Structure 1
Amino acid sequence: MRVAVTGGFGFLGWHTACRLRAIHGVEPIRLGRNDFADPQRLIEALTGVDAVIHIAGINRSDSDGAVQQGNIAIALGLAGAMRQVGKPLDLVFANSVQSQRDNPYGRGKAEAARIVKEAAKDVGGHFADLLLPNLFGEHGRPGYNSFVATFAHDVAAGRRPSITDDRKIELLHAQDAAGLLIQALGRDVSEVVSAEPMAISDVLHFFLETHELYAARGEVPDLSTPMRRNLFNTYRAAAFPEMWPISPQVHCDDRGDLYETVRAHGGTGMAFMSTTRPGQKRGEHYHLHKVERFFVVKGEAEIKLRRLLHDEVVTFRLSGDEPSFVDMPTLWVHNIRNVGDSELVTMFWSDQLLDAANPDQFPETIAQEAIA
C-alpha cells in the first residue's frame, strides 16, 4: 500500500512515518506546508497513493481565529485535491478529543473532520476518525506540542518548571498513536482513543528524578512500566546530544582499573561485551522503544547517529584510555566502528531481554539519506 502522511514533517507525522517504515516496510509520501501551498503539487502527490493519514493542522497561534480557520483551510485543500484525483482514497484523520469541546481548536478540528469525511465518501474511500488525547514522545516541540515536551527540555537544560494548575491528563505516546492511525487504514470507524491518566506533577517529578540520576552519572531510572520508559525516552531525546559522552569515575589500584558501566534502579535488562577488529563496525539499525548503551572499554571507537528521516549525522569519538559511554536515542540509526589499530572492546546494555520474535531492531545504514 502506498500511503501519504500530511503533516509528515511534524511531531506525530514523523513518528507515523517512522513506524510505517519500521513495522510495515512502507516508505510514506510525507506532505508538508509547501505541498498544501500549491494545489497542483498536492494533487500530483495524491495521485500516486492509495491512502492518506491526515495529521496536518494548527495547534497554536496568536489568534484563535487562525487556529480554527487554519485547520478548516487545510481540510478544504486536502478535500479538493482528493476530488481532483478522482479515485478511491482511504483516509484516516488524526482528530483530537478537543473536537468535542466548544473552543477554537475544537471547532476547527470538528469541521475539518466533516470536510474530509465527505471527500472520502465522494471518492469511494473508507474514512476513519480517531479522536486522540494529549500526545508526547521523542522530539516534541517545547511550548507547542505538549507540556511534556516543555518539561523535558526545561529539566534537561537544568531548569525547574513551575505548575499552577495540577491535574490528571490522559497521555498517549506518539508511537502508540501512530500505531492506531496505521491500524485504522481501510476501516470505517469513529472513536475516542483512551489513554493513561497522569498528574502533571507526577510527570515533572519523574523528569526531575531522571535528571538527577541520568544526567549526573548515567544512572538509569526505574523503567518497570511502559509509561516510565516512554517518558524516559522523551527526556533522552531532549537531552541528546549535549549530555554525551559521560566518563564515570575510575578506581585504580595495583590490580588495575574498576569502573561502573550501568546502574539501574529497576526493570529487566541485559549487558554484554564485544570485540571488533580494526576497520570493522557494528550496529546500522535503530529501535522504536529499546534503551541501549554503548560503553567503550578498550581501543578507539567512532559512534555515528542519524535521526530517522533526517540527514544530519552526530559523531562521537570514544577511547578506552578514558572509559566513556553514549546511550542510543530511540528512532536514531546508529553504528560503532573500530577506528584504531588494535582490538576494540565494547560493552552493550539494553533495558530489555532479547526477544527473537520481536527484537525492536530495524536495519538501516547511517549513510542512507532521509526521505525528501
Structure 2
Amino acid sequence: MSAHLFVLLEGAGTADKQAESATLSDAESVFTHPTQAKKIRKKVTSVKRALLIGIDHYLQVPLTGCEKDAQSVAALLSRNGRDSRSRPKNFDVDTLLSERDGVITRRVLLDAVKSLFKDPAEVALLYFAGHGVFDFATENAVLVAQDGEDMHSGISLAEISALASKAARQIKSIVLILDCCQSGSAAELPATGLSLLSTGLTILTSADRHQEASATKKGGVFTGLLMNALEGAAADVRGQITPAAVYSHIDQSLGAWHQRPIYKANVREFVILREVKPRVDDEILEKLVEWFPNEDHKLSLDPSFEPDVKPGTEDEYPPEVRSRNQMIFEALQICNRSGLVEPVGEKHMYYAAMNSQSCRLTFLGKHYRRVAAERFSS
C-alpha cells in the first residue's frame, strides 16, 4: 500500500490569445487606455492559490500523519521566509482534512480540484496526502478517496492531468508533486512507459512506478524532505526555491537503497514555490558587474580593504579610501562565503587583502554576474 501522495501544480502552458481575450475581455472593456488593460491582466494573473488535502481515516488501511503533513506544508507555502526579497504573503491556502471536514469522497475530491482550477491565477497548487495506488488494469495511478469499496476508488492522475491542461488557458503555472507508492507513472502513456507532459507542467514523485514510498509515524519521509527544502535547504543564492531545486535536495538526501524520486518537466521557466532570506542581497549582486568588468577580471586588493591595519601602512591609505574599500570587502566576504568569489594567491580573503593579492569570480559567481547584468543593470 502507498504511504503518502502529494500533488502541487507548476506551470501548465501558456494561454492562447483567444483564451486570454475571453478571460480578460469583461475586465478590459471598462478601460479605453491600453496601459489600464495591462494592469488588469497583471492583477488577474498574480494570484497564487493552494489547496492541500490530507486523508488519514481510510476504513481499509488507515494512515497517520497525512493531515499533519498537509497542514505543515500549508503553513510553509502560505508565507515566504523571514527577510525574503518578496512580500511575506505567498500562497492563498485552503485545506481539506478528513478528520475536520468529514468523509472525503471521490466527488468531494473532484469538486475541490475543479474549484482550484476554476479561476485565473499565476500558480495553482494542489497537495494531496493520503493513499495512492497504481491501477494495473488502467495503467494509471489513483488518488484514493474514502468512499470506495476497494483501494482503487478515487481520482486518477489522468483526470487531474486533463483538468490541468484545460486550466492552462487561465493558470500560468501548474506543478504536480506525488509522495506515494508507484507514483513515478504520473503522466505516462498507458503500456508504453513514455511520459506526455503539456507545456509548463512539472511532476515530482517520491518513488518510481514499482517502488513503495516510506513513511514514519510523524509523516512521509519524502514530505519531511520537501518541508526541509521549502524551509530553505533548497534555496539558491537569492533565496528562491524552485521545484527543480526541491527535487535535487530530495534526490541527494535519499540513498541508493531508498525510494528514488522522479522528476519530469516540460517548462519554459520555473515557478518560485517559496522565498527565504537571500544569502547575497540583490544590491551586492548588482555590484559584481561594477567590481568585475568582465567575467575573468581579477579585482586587486590591498591592506586598505581590511579593518585590521597592517603595521607600516597607517598613513599609506586615506581614511575615505579605507572606508570605501572596507565596505566593498565586507560585501566580497559575503560573496566568498556563498561561493561566488574566491581569493587568488591565498587561501583566505583576509590574507589576499593583507598581502596585496586579488580575488576573482567562481563559476557560480560568473553565473550570478550574468544574472545581475541581464536583470538588474540598466
TM-score with structure 1 setting the length? 0.26
TM-score, normalisation: structure 2:
0.26
Query: Quick check: which one's strand share is greater?
Result: 1
